[in-house]
Amino acid sequence: MTVCVLQLFSLTQSSEELRRDRDRVRLALERTEAAMIGYRERAHQWEHSRGAGSDSEEVICRHHRRRASADQSAGAGGPGDSAPHLIGCRPAAEGGVYPAVLQEQPSWLLSLRSDLSDSLAAVERRPIPSVLESETQRLDRSLREEELRLSLSQS
């Protein structure tokens, strides 16, 4: 009986620790997503200042909604995944504003988004500290590479 109680206590502590780790990883992913939005805004401003033509924001928003819907139906979205790339994306009839961050995404941004999705999937499959740590480090490296690529392209 004592062994069972100790095992239960140990499992409960491990579960709590894993929940905290998951929350930390999700927070890191949210911060990375916010950084990506900032990069998109800067890239859009840069393209706009160059005089590059822009696609209709409504068409782009519809594209992102279809993609998010397809991802959810395919099971790509994890629990609590609220499709952060659709923040502020509501039809004009609902009084929504289509933010400039929804402009056409460059391939490097799609690559970073894919890295984020892959990391979240890996963490959800095996929420153990070593996986959490390795995925966090991989995301940090990926973000630093993209920051460098963006700063070099703006120079």
Sketch the domain layout of the chain as residue ranges: 26-43+56-154
Least confident of 22-31, 41-50, 83-92, 142-151: 83-92
**Higher-scoring residue by pLDDT: 106, 57:** 106
Distance CA 116, CA 138 (A): 9
Q: pLDDT (tens digit, 9 = 90+) per residue, 104-153?
A: 556 766 777 777 777 777 777 777 777 777 877 888 788 788 778 777 87
**pTM for this entry:** 0.31
